[in-house]
A and B are shown apart, each in its own frame.
Chain A
Amino acid sequence: MDTHHDAGGTLNLRLRLQGITKQYPGCLANDRINLAIEPGEIHALLGENGAGKSTLMKIIYGVTKPDAGQVYWQGNPVTIKDPATARRMGIGMVFQHFSLFETLTVTENIALALGEDAGDLKVLADKIRTVSQRYGMELNPERHIHSLSVGERQRVEIVRCLVQDIQLLILDEPTSVLTPQEVDTLFITLRQLADEGCSILFISHKLKEVQDLCHSATILRAGQVTGDCIPAEAGATNMARMMVGDDTPISTDYPKAEGGEVFLKVHNLSQTTEDPFGINLKNVDFEVRSGEILGVAGVAGNGQEELLAALSGETLEAQAEEILFAGEPAGHLDPKQRRQRGLGFVPEERLGRGAVPEMSLKDNGLLTGFLQGLVSNGFINRVATSQFADKIIDDFNVKTPNQQTAAQSLSGGNLQKFIIGREILQNPKLLVAAHPTWGVDIGAATAIHEALIRLRNDGAAILVISEDIDELFLISDRLCAICNGEISPSKPTQQTSIEEVGRWMTGIFDTETHAVAQESV
């Protein structure tokens, strides 16, 4: 009787995974994973970076083959040998790093994925228009991908799945690139899809949105399922515990600070970029005080890279007065001269800019630490360099066999701790940090946040540029946003809201008058 019931239940499931196991050299990515999704269900797959979420969904989408275990589709055992097979079965996937071709149009991109079913491009373009309107995702099929914003590109990926007969839509961290408003729109679309019977597998590490959107959740840690729950009922802390385990501290609140003297002043900074896909900076104007953290929110590709290059000295300013360090013009100074005046810099790319991948941690420490007495008369002081690297590793709890380890063999979180530690140990008067915890697990993120707060309390001016709006609210004393090369006005964190920062991120800067107007109605 029981077995009969089970068989019936299984038949009704859209997708069932049974004992999926995948072993990579030195890492068991998936360990006997079970998962079941019903038709019309929005199912969350929660876990930290490296928990095995990506591997699991690649297995479902046929990009990777499992070593053991069975996939059941609509109750039948299946082998998904490649993405084309998955697509024919009705599985669609929206990747975190979009699989779009920048030089092609929206229609051409979608036609490529559809294969022989694409048919006439004009008919397809009409279909794209119809589908995108039906699900509230406006798209112009004739536009080239490179001219689209990140949010629009994601729509292309989703519409690409929807123009086919789709039964299961997999989304990999879809909100990490969106403004809060865009997230709301996306959720409306996803709910509409689920109501029509499409199953959705929603991969995320953000608890709040999982609670908002998902009917059920499977939580992964270190390749194993650590729990199933109904997110709306299970508390956020419970889910976080299942994600990170019992040993990791989960970050709380940090006291906010006022700051003292202005250290960094950027005044009317304008820049025209040579890169056709780059962003021009327009009259950027802001200040960072000693002893405060200024957070800059914004969706990627809105001028963050250009602003960072201007601050670090990689690009020099037309007028030296456009950037002032403690009142002194600094716009004409090169990176070394700026470091001599107290700048610490954590670039957005960890491997390649923050650290040289093939070089040891010791040598990477020297790369920006050369002003700390590690070099004399052009010769490297081996002993001091070695001590400096050891101090970073000890103070910032970097997990590595020793300081001779190549930077590229560290995990993202450990390497980030090393890079941040390297800058902080030089006692910068100004620290510019880009995406300090991007792709870093919760434990390391908390350690990095605490280090930044300590540095702030010691009196340094800190500028954090991040796409993670929750992180900015957690650690910043003041907030502003960057959109299309322009900087919004800034406000103390307690006096603003996610909604307001979200509007700044879309370029609506006069939120004051906006709010007043609404009140007077």
Chain B
Amino acid sequence: MDIDLITNILYAMVRTGTPLLIVALGEMVCEKSGVLNLGQEGMMLMGAVIGFIATLTTGSLLLGFILAILSGVIMSMLFAGIALGLNANQVATGLALTIFGTGLSAFIGADFVGQPIDGLNPYAIPLLSEIPLIGKMLFAQDLIVYLSFGLFAVIYWFFKSSRAGLTVKAVGENPHAANVIGLPVMRTRYLAVAFGGAMAGLAGGYLSLAYTPLWTENMTAGRGWIALALVVFATWRAERIILGAYLFGLASILNLVAQGLGYPVSPNILAMMPYAATVMVLVMLSSNVVKSKMHTPMWLGKPFHPGG
């Protein structure tokens, strides 16, 4: 393999892993607060279709991304109103949100299937992007990829050393104790869910506005579900989520490369590879039970009444 091919594989790995990284980071924050939102796929699809329509009709990519994020937030607040406000079962509510989002996005986007737009173009940072091998991967990407690097750093720092991060962790571990020592349990949870929604919307928007500037029905292709698995197997740690997301990206790219080179393997098996590889590696990583338990939000998915 020549160096150009490797450079390009690395570049595509990050690009392919980015939507997964964004949605998984959002879900991680949400779950750290003890709320399990299975609606990622639905929120992503809504972000993708709304962002696409906005950009197609106005020509503004910025507006597209803003509306994508906003639709993710609105979807997540729908979830929060039912699961937190009315204390419904979080799993059932999240599933309903995905089914709802899948259907609604297909309905809204029916007239826009296959229409072309000018997607977000990469912006190569001068000099830095010339570094051999990793220059293109890190410094010749589009703005959302750069943003995802920043988001990763901020979330890593947030849980490592910020007071607010500590609060989110505490609320996710034991909301009753948190309430008793005066932490704003419900506000923290609403904000965490909203952040998860924003990230899912952004990830959806990235798919339809940058990754493949197109709208097709169900274009997230299960990334919302993979993100949910990723968060669990990454044991709620940002540094493992980024690893898993890029691993998924790498496996997806190798699958295309392998198909291009014409290996005599069924394309269906190859298409399965990214999912299988990501899950397998993360399962192996999460085998240390004590360490995994340390990072697991113990109250995940359980409802909480501030009054009771």
Question: Are A112 and B289 closer than 8 Å at their CB atoms?
Answer: no
Q: Give CA–CA (A95, B167) in the complex, Å.
A: 20
- CB < 8 Å: which of A84, A100, A118 contacts B163? A118
Q: Give CA–CA (A144, B293) in the complex, Å.
A: 13
Cβ contacts under 8 Å, A108 to chain B? 166
- B15 sits at the interface (CB 8 A): no
Question: Are A99 and B163 closer than 8 Å at their CB atoms?
Answer: no
Task: Pick out which of these stretches binds chain A: B43-51, B58-66, B126-134, B175-183.
Answer: B175-183
**CB proximity of B158 to chain A, nearest CB, Å:** 14
**CB proximity of B183 to chain A, nearest CB, Å:** 7
Question: Are A111 and B166 closer than 8 Å at their CB atoms?
Answer: yes
Question: Are A63 and B180 closer than 8 Å at their CB atoms?
Answer: yes
- A25 sits at the interface (CB 8 A): no
- Mark out the residues of chain A between 95 and 129 whose CB falls within 8 Å of any chain B CB in the assembled complex: 95, 98-104, 108, 111-113, 115, 118
- Mark out the residues of chain A between 265 and 280 whose CB falls within 8 Å of any chain B CB in the assembled complex: 274, 276-277
Question: Are B169 and A103 closer than 8 Å at their CB atoms?
Answer: yes
**CB proximity of B93 to chain A, nearest CB, Å:** 23
The proximity string for B residues 160-198 relative to A, scoring 1 for CB distances below 8 Å and 0 otherwise, is 000100110110011011111111000000000000000
Cβ contacts under 8 Å, B293 to chain A? 103, 276-277
Question: Are B176 and A112 closer than 8 Å at their CB atoms?
Answer: no
Given contacts A111-B163, A277-B293, contact A99 B177 (CB under 8 A): yes
- B265 sits at the interface (CB 8 A): no
Question: Are B181 and A103 closer than 8 Å at their CB atoms?
Answer: no
Cβ contacts under 8 Å, B173 to chain A? 101-104
Cβ contacts under 8 Å, B166 to chain A? 104, 108, 111-112
- A82 sits at the interface (CB 8 A): yes
Cβ contacts under 8 Å, A63 to chain B? 180
**CB proximity of B178 to chain A, nearest CB, Å:** 8
Q: Give CA–CA (A351, B87) in the complex, Å.
A: 23
**CB proximity of B181 to chain A, nearest CB, Å:** 4
Closest to A82 in B: B182
**CB proximity of B1 to chain A, nearest CB, Å:** 43
Cβ contacts under 8 Å, B179 to chain A? 83
Q: Give CA–CA (A214, B178) in the complex, Å.
A: 31
Question: Are A101 and B294 closer than 8 Å at their CB atoms?
Answer: no
Q: Give CA–CA (A103, B34) in the complex, Å.
A: 14
Q: Give CA–CA (A304, B177) in the complex, Å.
A: 25
Question: Are B181 and A99 closer than 8 Å at their CB atoms?
Answer: yes
**CB proximity of B252 to chain A, nearest CB, Å:** 34
Question: Are B177 and A100 closer than 8 Å at their CB atoms?
Answer: yes
Question: Are B180 and A95 closer than 8 Å at their CB atoms?
Answer: yes
Question: Are A99 and B176 closer than 8 Å at their CB atoms?
Answer: yes
Closest to B289 in A: A276
- B295 sits at the interface (CB 8 A): yes
- A16 sits at the interface (CB 8 A): no
- Mark out the residues of chain B between 38 and 93 whose CB falls within 8 Å of any chain A CB in the assembled complex: none
- A53 sits at the interface (CB 8 A): no
- A362 sits at the interface (CB 8 A): no
- A87 sits at the interface (CB 8 A): yes
Q: Give CA–CA (A142, B216) in the complex, Å.
A: 52
Q: Give CA–CA (A118, B173) in the complex, Å.
A: 20
Given contacts A101-B174, A102-B173, A144-B294, contact A113 B163 (CB under 8 A): no
**CB proximity of A392 to chain B, nearest CB, Å:** 31
Question: Are B163 and A101 closer than 8 Å at their CB atoms?
Answer: no
Cβ contacts under 8 Å, B289 to chain A? 274, 276
- B290 sits at the interface (CB 8 A): yes
**CB proximity of B201 to chain A, nearest CB, Å:** 30
Q: Give CA–CA (A277, B298) in the complex, Å.
A: 13
**CB proximity of B219 to chain A, nearest CB, Å:** 38
Q: Give CA–CA (A430, B176) in the complex, Å.
A: 39
Q: Give CA–CA (A113, B179) in the complex, Å.
A: 10
Q: Give CA–CA (A276, B177) in the complex, Å.
A: 22
**CB proximity of B111 to chain A, nearest CB, Å:** 49
Closest to B174 in A: A101
Closest to A85 in B: B182
Given contacts A144-B294, A276-B289, contact A101 B182 (CB under 8 A): no
The proximity string for A residues 382-402 relative to B, scoring 1 for CB distances below 8 Å and 0 otherwise, is 000000000000000000000
Cβ contacts under 8 Å, B176 to chain A? 99
* Residue among A87, A100, A101, A108 with max Cβ neighbours from chain B (10 Å): A101
Closest to A114 in B: B181
- CB < 8 Å: which of A100, A112, A276 contacts B167? A112
Question: Are B163 and A83 closer than 8 Å at their CB atoms?
Answer: no
* Residue among A100, A102, A103 with max Cβ neighbours from chain B (10 Å): A103
Given contacts A103-B173, A276-B289, contact A113 B181 (CB under 8 A): yes
The 9 A-B pairs of least Cβ separation, nearest first, read A99-B177, A84-B182, A276-B290, A113-B181, A83-B182, A99-B180, A101-B173, A101-B170, A276-B289
Known: A95-B180, A100-B177, A112-B170. 14 other contacts (CB 8 A): A98-B177, A101-B169, A101-B178, A103-B173, A103-B293, A103-B296, A104-B169, A104-B173, A111-B163, A118-B163, A146-B294, A276-B290, A276-B293, A277-B293
A to B CB contacts below 8 Å, 27 in the list? A84-B182, A87-B182, A95-B180, A99-B174, A99-B176, A100-B177, A101-B178, A102-B173, A103-B173, A103-B295, A103-B298, A104-B166, A104-B173, A108-B166, A111-B163, A112-B163, A112-B170, A112-B178, A112-B181, A112-B183, A113-B181, A115-B182, A118-B163, A144-B294, A276-B290, A276-B293, A277-B293
Binding site for A on B (CB under 8 A): 163, 166-167, 169-170, 173-174, 176-183, 289-290, 293-296, 298
